[in-house]
């Protein structure tokens, strides 16, 4: 029994229940279209590791080693979607396929398990401004590029580690970094934290610090307890003094007769 995966180029809906209908519509509109550039990159990456049987890479004895149930595999890619069938749920091939898809910002839909593997999102962070840069000219180019006002652009430039753009795929983030480099800004690409991590950080920041409970006060001793303690202390001192005198007499040095 084959294991079917759908590889999608455009972003899919955030609601997993709507993803299957989105993929079906995309497959219908992409019918008979040549595969997009990113799908071709994906095809080249996975077949470099696991060749398609149509390439002649397998002999008759090793034909079963081909993981692809449908061949030629290139015919499974149309437009912005690819419907790939594995001969069975091969964990090694599946893991490799997911890694390559994530590197190209592709979404993988596991139709059997009902899972959606979305690509990681990234943000571009300003690290420094290059020396001898014309700030006025740079602002004129940053405003349309970042779709902000001149005041907002100035605030970004003055803020350490300012986030210029967020929720980007890795390809778009790298392109923005290269463009900012030409404008005189040094930037870096950081992986966007997950939504659960962002929510947890927001809750911690919004939660007021809990007041510390007052330290418990030691209860005041009663007069009887104080008198008893004094009597015990005096008895201890008397016994200690008595023992010291006895010890001195026992260890005193006597002259020889």
pLDDT value of position 205: 57
From the first residue on, what is the mean pLDDT of each consecutive set of 10 residues in the chain (257 residues)?
A: 91 89 93 93 94 85 86 93 92 93 91 88 92 89 92 91 88 91 94 65 60 65 70 71 64 44
What is the distance between the alpha carbons of residues 49 and 76, in angstroms, rounded to a whole number?
18
Q: In 10 A of CB 67, how many CB atoms?
A: 24
Question: What domains are defined for the chain?
Answer: 3-117 (no CATH), 122-194 (3.30.1390)
pLDDT value of position 180: 95
164 within 8 A of 126, measured Cβ to Cβ: yes
For the chain, the residue count is 257
pLDDT value of position 24: 93
Q: In 10 A of CB 105, how many CB atoms?
A: 20
pLDDT value of position 199: 59
Which residue is it, tokens 């602002």? 139
Distance (Å) of CA 153 to CA 130, 133, 140, 174, 177: 16, 15, 10, 20, 16
pLDDT value of position 254: 45
- As to burial, measured by CB atoms within 10 angstroms (0-12 exposed, 13-18 middle, 19+ buried), residue 108 is buried
DSSP-derived 3-state class of residue 176: helix
């Amino acid at each position: 029994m084959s294991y079917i995966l759908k590889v999608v180029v455009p972003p899919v809906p955030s609601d997993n229940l709507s993803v299957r209908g989105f993929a079906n519509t995309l497959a219908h509109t992409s019918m008979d279209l040549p595969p997009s550039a990113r799908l071709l990159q994906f095809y080249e990456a996975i077949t470099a590791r696991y060749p398609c049987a149509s390439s002649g890479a397998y002999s008759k004895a090793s034909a079963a080693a081909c993981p692809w149930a449908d061949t030629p595999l290139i015919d499974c890619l149309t437009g912005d979607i690819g419907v790939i069938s594995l001969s069975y749920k091969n964990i090694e091939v599946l893991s490799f396929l997911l890694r390559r898809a994530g590197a190209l910002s592709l979404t993988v839909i596991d139709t059997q398990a009902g899972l959606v593997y979305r690509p990681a999102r990234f943000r571009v962070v300003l690290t420094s401004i290059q020396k001898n840069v014309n700030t006025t000219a740079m602002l004129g180019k940053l405003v349309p590029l970042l779709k902000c006002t001149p005041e907002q652009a100035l605030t970004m430039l003055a803020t350490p580690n300012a986030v210029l753009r967020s929720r980007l795929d890795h390809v778009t983030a790298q392109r923005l970094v290269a463009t900012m480099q030409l404008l005189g800004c040094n930037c870096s690409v950081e992986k966007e934290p997950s939504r659960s991590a962002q929510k947890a950080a927001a809750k911690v920041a919004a939660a007021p610090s809990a007041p510390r409970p007052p330290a418990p006060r030691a209860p005041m001793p009663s007069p009887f307890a104080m008198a008893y303690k004094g009597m015990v202390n005096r008895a201890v001192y008397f016994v200690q003094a008595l023992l010291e005198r006895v010890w001195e007499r026992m260890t005193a040095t006597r002259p020889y007769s």
